[in-house]
């Protein structure tokens, strides 16, 4: 039974992959008939992994700490190196407990002349407490956030590194969002529990770095690095941007990653993309690792635990997500 399933999933992947490569060779050959040549870069998961490790090595990137400031500088330096333009959007925002957080959204842009823009996002801050840790004595410990934070950023930095030397037609903006994960501990009695996550996204969505900013669509990455990750169709993504979601999922299936991208809806996640949809009015999807059978409210196994460290990061998953994104981006006209 497993064996049958395996072949049904894998054979179409092989057929389509080889067609794609044939087409690329034709297009780049001499005597071309004018069909647009698309050279899709090869995503390097070793490089993405290094970008994740470098973030995790700062320690937990909790807002208002030195680790956080140092990591902001590191991320800005990377985007400055790879992108055509880069900037830091500093802001203050109030957390659930009244703490004023000093936030920094970090932006890098390519091909600013292009009107057809794609916005790629991930949050870079770390959760200040492991409130879902199985060990009660660790539930106030800040987390390394290798998956819930650094993984999406690592994939986007690798995409920036590649686009630096091989540009797609579309304009690309990379938005590293801050103060996503400072929501209240799940067991804190609190009346006003709405909109306490995604604070940096709420700020950016009401104050975009360029007041005239427009994008065709946005893709958020959240927890895209764990082994055997499964990306289900998230509710807000389907409601606001079904066409984009299907394009991304279909692309993943065509290049051989159908196991990872599941055509099945799971839940509604109050994540950064919600505000990009509802406040910035840019159609936005979330590629997020969900687990419909989990005990922690449908997230990946080590979500908001001290177990979310570098050891959960799997290069195969990084490759799946990174190569899918590159393919989507480079196939846009």
Whether 152 and 222 have beta carbons less than 8 Å apart is answered as yes
131 binds, among Zn ion, ligand AHN, none (CB under 5 to 8 A by kind): none
Using rule CB under 6 A, residue 270 touches ligand AHN:
yes
Position 276 contacts ligand AHN (CB under 6 A): no
**In this structure, what token pair is assigned to residue 261?**
């991208």
Least separation in angstroms between residue 286's CB and ligand AHN is 9
The C-alpha atoms of residue 75 and residue 81 are separated, in whole angstroms, by: 10
Interface with ligand AHN includes 275 (CB under 6 A)?
no
- Distance CA(279)–CA(282), nearest Å, equals 8
233: how many CB neighbours lie within 10 A of its CB?
20
Shortest Å, Cβ 197 to ligand AHN: 5
Contact 204, 133 (CB under 8 A): no
Q: Identify which of 131, 228, 220 has the alpha carbon closest to the alpha carbon of residue 176.
A: 220
End-to-end CA distance of the chain: 42
Phi, then psi, of 328 in degrees rounded to 5: -60, -50
Site for ligand AHN in 137-166 (CB under 6 A): 148
> Least distance in Å: CB of 222 to ligand AHN?
5
Segment interacting with ligand AHN, rule: CB under 6 A, options 19-27, 154-162, 235-243, 264-272: 264-272
Binds ligand AHN (CB under 6 A): choice among 119, 244, 269, 276: 269
Q: Among the residues of 190-331, which ranges form H helices?
A: 199-206, 235-254, 272-278, 315-330
* Interface region with Zn ion, contact rule CB under 5 A, candidates 17-25, 103-111, 178-186, 238-246: 178-186
222 binds ligand AHN (CB under 6 A): yes
Determine, following the binding rule CB under 5 A, whether residue 181 of this chain makes contact with Zn ion: yes
170 binds, among ligand AHN, Zn ion, none (CB under 5 to 8 A by kind): none
What does the per-residue mask of binding to Zn ion show for 113-152, with x meaning CB under 5 A? Answer: -----------------------------------x----
Rank residues 152 and 208 by Cβ distance to Zn ion and give the closer one.
152
If one counts every other C-beta atom within 10 angstroms of the C-beta of residue 323, the result is: 22
DSSP reduced 3-state for 218: strand
Q: Which residues bind ligand AHN (CB under 6 A)?
A: 148, 181, 183, 197, 222, 269-271
């Amino acid at each position: 039974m497993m064996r049958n399933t395996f072949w049904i999933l894998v054979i179409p992947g092989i057929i389509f992959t080889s067609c794609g490569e044939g087409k690329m060779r034709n297009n780049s050959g001499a005597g071309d008939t004018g069909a647009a040549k698309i050279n899709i870069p090869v995503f390097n998961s070793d490089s993405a992994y290094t970008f994740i490790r470098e973030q995790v090595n700062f320690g937990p990137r909790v807002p208002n700490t030195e680790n956080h400031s140092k990591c902001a500088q590191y991320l800005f330096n990377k985007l400055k190196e790879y992108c055509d333009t880069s900037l830091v959007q500093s802001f203050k925002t109030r957390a659930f407990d009244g703490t004023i957080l000093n936030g920094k959204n970090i932006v890098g842009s390519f091909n600013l002349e292009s009107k057809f823009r794609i916005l790629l996002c991930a949050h870079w801050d770390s959760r200040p407490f492991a409130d879902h840790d199985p060990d009660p004595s660790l539930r106030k410990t800040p987390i390394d956030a290798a998956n819930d934070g650094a993984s999406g950023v690592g994939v986007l930095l690798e995409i920036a590194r590649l686009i630096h030397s091989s540009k797609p037609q579309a304009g690309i903006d990379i938005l590293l969002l801050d103060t996503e994960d400072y929501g209240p501990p799940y067991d804190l009695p609190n009346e006003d529990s709405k909109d306490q996550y995604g604070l940096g996204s709420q700020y950016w969505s009401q104050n975009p770095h360029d007041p005239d900013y427009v994008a065709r669509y946005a893709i958020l990455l959240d927890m895209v690095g764990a082994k055997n990750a499964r990306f289900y169709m998230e509710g807000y993504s389907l409601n606001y941007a079904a066409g984009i979601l299907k394009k991304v999922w279909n692309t993943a299936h065509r290049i051989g990653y159908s196991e990872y991208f599941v055509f099945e809806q799971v839940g509604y996640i109050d994540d950064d993309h919600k505000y990009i949809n509802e406040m910035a009015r840019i159609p936005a999807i979330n590629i997020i690792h969900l687990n419909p059978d989990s005990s922690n409210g449908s997230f990946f196994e080590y979500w908001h635990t001290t177990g979310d460290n570098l050891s959960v990061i799997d290069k195969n998953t990084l490759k799946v997500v990174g190569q899918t994104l590159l393919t989507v981006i480079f196939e846009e006209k």
